[in-house]
Structure 1
Amino acid sequence: METETLALAQEIDFSMLALFARATLTVKLVMTLLLLASFWSWAIIIQKHINFRRARQAAAVFDQAFWSGEPLDELFETVGAEPDGAAERIFAAGMMEWRRSHRQDGGLIAGAAPRIDRSMDVAIAKEAEGLNKGLGFLATVGSTAPFVGLFGTVWGIMHAFQQIALQQNTNLAVVAPGIAEALLATALGLLAAIPAVVFYNKLSGDSDRIVGGYEAFADEFSTILSRQLDA
């Protein structure tokens, strides 16, 4: 009897495609949702790595230009009012407010320094929002995917037990396929969640460091302008 059961079990296809095909509609929907979430998570991860590398490179190039000794007005003319780089946009926001704060006679309107700081803070906030865009999805996938997969597993096991009750047979050939299909949902949930959590933490740290660099630049730039205001 055991030999016949093992022979029947060996004839069953336990590949992922076969397990998916034999699963119930609910479990199939759960698996499809998890696969889509995993695919979208990896798309965000790859895109964020590219964007962050470009942001660091652009910040390094502009930082070199800023500290090259070129007059700020000339650098602003070179950069323009709507530059492409994030650090350049923060610089442009401060310079535009600096120019708006001058009266026609050349004097400065009172409260120029706080306005310049607020302008750069707003620019930094916009850049931070762009850097963090999509990270919330990774956090959501990382926290919910295991539970979604567990729901698929519970549903699949419930269906497997129903089939066992209908066939009134508990041998391995009857039990194994249903349990395997159910456990595949949990595996897919972990497959989606683990990379999402790992890269969410990494990308969040990278984003914080980039934004910290922008804030440090804004403070240095504000210090330079305050010296001119005092002079």
Structure 2
Amino acid sequence: RKVNDPPLCNHQSRSSASWYVPVEGCIVQLPDGFHKWPSPWPARLSDIPPSLPSSGPDAEESFRKDTVHWSSLISEVYMSGGFNVNWSSVRNVVDMNAGYGGFAAALIDEPLWVMNVVPVDQPDTLSVIMDRGLIGVYHDWCESFNTYPRSYDLLHASFLFRNLTSRCGVIEVAAEMDRILRPGGYLLIQDDSETLKRIAPLLKSLHWSVSVLRDQFVVCKKGFWRPSVS
């Protein structure tokens, strides 16, 4: 360009940050590797994303392992009869801690769609999710989640609760999940046993059916309970 206006963004800054940061009047530079069109859909789901963080030598291997992990977990665990999830009733899904988007990618053959959420206090992987052809947003789970114009059929939270910031706790997030999940909807949680021991009683107090499986999963179904009028 003859005139550097607006300028290119500083590589040292988190150019894709969107939460409590001032808007910069600059153009985000494309990362190395953006020199060709992405693979056709759905091959791009499993291709190495150009925006994959390259801070470590094992980034590509980590991405591949994550893809295999979620493919196995979905087919061998989440879709198994022991989880008692009626997947035929599930259309709208939120992955509350999406990472690379492996959960959504593993469900690509199912008749549903997944909103991938990257918590603002977790590694910034939203560009990786977008490169895979998936959709996603940043969000701070200490605040309300914009669900307009729908509620969701299933919420998925993998190791979300143990990483909550000090600004809020499990109670606040549980109340928000109760708000955005439709009656009859499902919640799937994977976390360590100590975290599950704190979460399960709280969800039962909301009159949800709660099952703890394999000491690392909680499967919940939201009921139709409403406070009685005295």
Q: Provide the TM-score with structure 2 as the length reference.
A: 0.22
User: Which structure: larger Rg?
Assistant: 1
Relative contact order (C-alpha < 8 Å, sep 6+): which is higher? 1
Larger % of strand: which? 2
Larger % of helix: which? 1
